[in-house]
Amino acid sequence: MPALRRSLRAGRRQIGRSARRLAAAAVARKLSTLPAFQRASRVAGYWPADGEIDPLPALARAFVAGKACYLPVLCPQRDGHLHFAPWWPGAPLRRNRFGIAEPLVPRREWLAPRMLDLVLLPLVGFDMAGNRLGMGGGYYDRSFAFLRPGCWHRPRLVGVAFDRQRVEGLPRRAWDVPLDAVITERHRHLFGLL
């Protein structure tokens, strides 16, 4: 997996600025037609880094539609886990220990992952079985472990990516949490009930 991860990360970093903007806008349009997006009251995304597709246009659409929007924050009480802090266009941000922007709001305003309706996840690669290759830290898998089959049904997890991040197949380990969908600039891949 390390070689595949390096190759996919390098590929997404090579995408030009104009193509990135167009892809992010296309993803936002496709996402807004999903029933899970339309029904959601609380939508979480992420701050893009390392060539990831930008989910902020999709979050801006959610915000304009009256939905509460959130970005992940590292949880100091549970290392390796995420909570989600309120975000709005122009919200004050700070950098975490990885240099990724997080909303600068009091901890009492953070939500646990179970409180969300829809989460947009970054990814390095994905396959057509809903498997996600992340950066390797396991933050999302640990934070959403309660979603394993038969345990919990919300939030819906939607990966957002460039079409070129699709791979033939990825192994699914016991701790991997599968995606309900992946939205790219070209396609909507649906794997679960949305």
Instruction: Read off the pTM.
Output: 0.94
Q: Residue 53's closest CA among 20, 100, 30, 78?
A: 20
Question: Is there a binding annotation on residue 125?
Answer: no
Question: Is there a binding annotation on residue 115?
Answer: no
Over range 41-48, report the average pLDDT: 97
| Confidence category of residue 2, pLDDT binned at 50, 70, 90 | confident
Question: Is there a binding annotation on residue 130?
Answer: no
Q: 8-36, pLDDT tens digit by residue?
A: 999 999 999 999 999 999 999 999 999 99
Question: Is there a binding annotation on residue 132?
Answer: yes
* CATH number for the domain that contains residue 24: 3.40.50.10420
Residue 19 domain boundaries: 2-190
Residue 152 confidence (pLDDT): 62
Question: Is there a binding annotation on residue 80?
Answer: no
End-to-end CA distance of the chain: 29
What is the domain count for the chain? Answer: 1
Residue 175 confidence (pLDDT): 85
Strand pairing partners for 189? 182
% of the chain residues with pLDDT over 90: 81
One DSSP character per residue, 19-30 reads HHHHHHHHHHHH
CA distance 66 to 10: 36
Q: Residue 101's closest CA among 20, 51, 46, 58?
A: 46
| Confidence category of residue 112, pLDDT binned at 50, 70, 90 | very high
Question: Is there a binding annotation on residue 134?
Answer: yes
Question: Is there a binding annotation on residue 135?
Answer: yes
Question: Is there a binding annotation on residue 136?
Answer: yes
